[in-house]
Amino acid sequence: MNQDNFRKITPYVPGIQPGFSDMIKLNTNENPYPPSPMVGEASKNFDAGSLRLYPSVDVGPLRDALAEYHGYDRECMFIGVGSDDVLATVFQACFNSGRPVLFPEITYSFYEVWARLYNINTCKIPLKEDFTIDADAYIGVDNGGIVIANPNAPTSVAMAKSEIERIIKNNTDNVVVIDEAYVDFGGESVIDLVKSYDNLIVVRTFSKSRSLAGARIGYCVANPALISVIEAVRNSINSYTDNRPAIELGVASVKDEDYFRATIKKVVATRERLADELKKLGFRVLPSSANFVFAQPPAGISAVEVYEELAKKHIYVRHFNIKGIDNYLRITVGTDEQIDTMLSEVGRLLNK
Amino acid sequence: MNQDNFRKITPYVPGIQPGFSDMIKLNTNENPYPPSPMVGEASKNFDAGSLRLYPSVDVGPLRDALAEYHGYDRECMFIGVGSDDVLATVFQACFNSGRPVLFPEITYSFYEVWARLYNINTCKIPLKEDFTIDADAYIGVDNGGIVIANPNAPTSVAMAKSEIERIIKNNTDNVVVIDEAYVDFGGESVIDLVKSYDNLIVVRTFSKSRSLAGARIGYCVANPALISVIEAVRNSINSYTDNRPAIELGVASVKDEDYFRATIKKVVATRERLADELKKLGFRVLPSSANFVFAQPPAGISAVEVYEELAKKHIYVRHFNIKGIDNYLRITVGTDEQIDTMLSEVGRLLNK
C-alpha cells in the first residue's frame, strides 16, 4: 500500500496497567475509593432493555444535572467521553488561527499530542524554578489560545485564582482553557468566572474526585457561543458519545454531594500524611493540591531506581522520562494501607 | 474574540428524537427488540465499585471476545464508541494522501462530514439507476481510498461479495473500507477477506443487529499493520474510550449467538411483510438487506407529505432532503404491531 495514505503520529502513553492481583496501583491517579453507593444503586436499577435505543443526543439528563450543580444553563455545558475527549474536541474547535497556543513546558503531556494531531502551533512556556506557573509569561504574548492545568500535572502545584483571572482578562481575543481535572482536591476553581468571561473554558472530569474513571465522563463549562462551536465539531465526528450507563451513573454521582465531599476529605488527609512521611524520608515533595504528590528522592537514589524497585514489588508509581522532571516520581494517593506498604518499601530501599 | 480561532463546520444531523411516550420511532434504525437476556444479566451483576478504575486500555475482554467470534487475532481488531467513532478514526488515520477518496453519491451522509472535518478530498460516484453500486466505477480510478456501505444506506440495497472483492483487489495501493453496519440483516459479509487483503477494513456496529445502540460499541477488522495505524490516531485523542459497562455488556452480547440469530430472523420477517404491504399500497420499495426499507410513495402523495402526516400521529420515519432521494422514505423495521399501526395510517392517507 502507499504509505502516504497513513497518518504517522506518536501517541500519548498512559500509565501501564499490569494485571497482577496483588498490585498496588498508584500510577494513573485513580481514586482509591469506590463511587457513591447511589451509583451502585443506579447500576443495579439500570434498565438493560433501554440499550436498544440511542442515548439522548445531547446527553440530556447528565447535562441537566451538571448545569444545575454548577448553576449554569444547559447551553453552557458540553459532555464527553472523559475530559480527554472534551479537551481533544476543544483543541479541534478553538485553536485554528495558526498562531501558537501557549501552555506550560511541564504539564499534561496530552496537550502536545493533540496539538500535533490537529497541526496546531504551540509555544511551551517554562515553569518557574519552584514549579509554579508564571502568569506574566502568558500576558502580552501573541497567541492563538492558552491551556493551563490547575492544579498542574504532573507537578500537583496549584495556581491562585486571581493569577488565572489575570491571564483570562488579558487574553480576551482567544480562548483560555483551564483544565480542572484535579481541582476538587484543593485547587481554587475558576468555574464561576465563565459568567464574566466569554473566552474561558473550564474542563472537569468524573475520573478522579468522583471515582468514575471506568465510566468515561468529562465535561466543560463555557459561554453558549463557545459551546456551540465545540458541539458542531463533536457532531461532525460522532452523534452519540456518552452511553446510557454513563449518563445514568453520572447523574447518580452528581446527586450524592455528601459522599463526594467525604471521599475527597479522606484522600486529602492521606495525601498530607504521604507528603509528610516522604519528607521525613528525605524526599523533596512539591506542595500538592491534587490526588497525587510529585516527589524527588533524596541524594543517593534516583527516581528511576525507586520506580523500578517498587515495580518489582508490584507497586506502580509513575516516572516521566522528561527533562527537568526525570528525577521525580508522581505517586497517586491510595488508601492508607496502600500508602503504608509503599512507604515501608521506600524506607527499606533507603535503609531507613 | 477572534473568529479565526474557530472551526466552522456543518455537522451530521441524526434522526430527531422527540420525547412523546406514545411515539413509534422508526427513524434511527434501532432494533425493536431488547438486547440478549445475557446482557441484562451482565448489567445486574456489574460491579459498580470497579468504576473507580480506568477501563482496560485496549478494550481487553471485548476485543478478545470479538476476535474469537470472527476467528481473527486480537491484533486484527479495533474497538470504538460506536461505528461512527471507528469510521471517524479510520478516516483520520488512512486517508492522508491528498488524492480523492471515493464513495457513492447516495450513501451514509456522515462520510462527507468526516471528509470535510479532516480536509479529505472526495469524489462521489453516482449510483446506477436501480440504486445499486457500480463496481466498475471504482476500478482504474486514481484515488486515496474507497468507502462503501454494504448494504448501502439509506437505500437498503446490498452489493454482491464478488463485486466488492473486485474493488478491493483492483485497489491494493489504498485502503478500502466496507461499512457493514447492516450486514447481519441479509448482506454478504466480506469479513473473511481480511485474511487475503491487507488493504481491507471491515466496520461493524452493535447498534443495530445487537440491539445495543445505547451502549455505543463499534469495531473494525483489518490487517494488524492497518490496525496499529488506526490505534496510533486513537491513542493520540483519548486513551480510554469504551467504558467498563460497554465492555462487559458487549462481551455478554457476543456470547449469546442464539438470541442474536433469533432476533435478526424476527426483524427480517417483519421487513418482508412491511415491504409487501407497502407495495400493495402502491409504493416502490427497493430490495432491502437491512433493518429498514427505502420506499417511494405512489403518485398523488409526496414522501414529505407522508412524513409530515405520520409525524402528526407521533410516528417518525426518516426523510432526506437530498436530490435523487427526496421522494423516498427510510422506514426502520419496528415490531409487527408498530408496523401495522404505521401501515394503517399510511393506508388512511392514501384512502385505501
Predicted-complex ipTM score: 0.96
**CA neighbor of B34 nearest in space, from B340, B263, B271:** B263
Window 16-35 of A, Cβ < 8 Å to B: 17, 25, 28, 30-35
Domains along the sequence of chain A with CATH: 24-34+258-350 (3.90.1150.10), 37-256 (3.40.640.10)
Is residue A17 pLDDT above 80, yes or no? Answer: no
Residue B351: Cβ-neighbour burial (10 angstroms; 0-12, 13-18, 19+): exposed
pLDDT at residue A58, as a whole number: 84
How far A344 CA lies from chain B's nearest CA (Å)? Answer: 25
- Measured between beta carbons, the chain A residues lying within 8 angstroms of B98 are 4
Q: Does B116 touch chain A (CB under 8 A)?
A: yes
Indicate the pLDDT class of residue B66, thresholds 50, 70 and 90: very high
pLDDT in tens, B146-187: 999 999 999 999 999 999 999 999 999 999 999 999 999 999
Alpha carbons B190 and B201: distance in angstroms, whole number: 10
**Which range is least confidently modeled, A20-29, A39-48, A228-237?**
A20-29
Task: Supply the DSSP string of A139-173, one letter for each residue.
Answer: SS---S-EEEESS-TTT-----HHHHHHHHHT-TT
pLDDT at residue A74, as a whole number: 97
pLDDT at residue A348, as a whole number: 96
**Span A246-265, average pLDDT:** 98
pLDDT at residue B10, as a whole number: 85
Q: Is B238 helix (H, G, I), strand (E, B) or coil?
A: coil
Inter-chain touch B51–A39, beta carbons under 8 Å: yes
pLDDT at residue B56, as a whole number: 87
The answer to whether A118 touches A91, Cβ cutoff 8 Å, is: yes
Which of A85, A175, A214 lies at the smallest CB-CB distance from B244? Answer: A214
Alpha carbons A203 and A83: distance in angstroms, whole number: 7
How far B303 CA lies from chain A's nearest CA (Å)? Answer: 25
pLDDT in tens, A280-312: 999 999 999 999 999 999 999 999 999 999 999
Residue B323: Cβ-neighbour burial (10 angstroms; 0-12, 13-18, 19+): exposed
pLDDT in tens, B199-223: 999 999 999 999 999 999 999 999 9
Q: Does A94 touch chain B (CB under 8 A)?
A: yes
pLDDT at residue B59, as a whole number: 87
Cell digits of residue B319: 426523510
Indicate the pLDDT class of residue A247, thresholds 50, 70 and 90: very high
pLDDT at residue A15, as a whole number: 74
Indicate the pLDDT class of residue A31, thresholds 50, 70 and 90: very high
The answer to whether A242 touches A216, Cβ cutoff 8 Å, is: yes
**Span B31-42, average pLDDT:** 98
Is residue A18 pLDDT above 80, yes or no? Answer: no
Inter-chain touch A236–B17, beta carbons under 8 Å: no
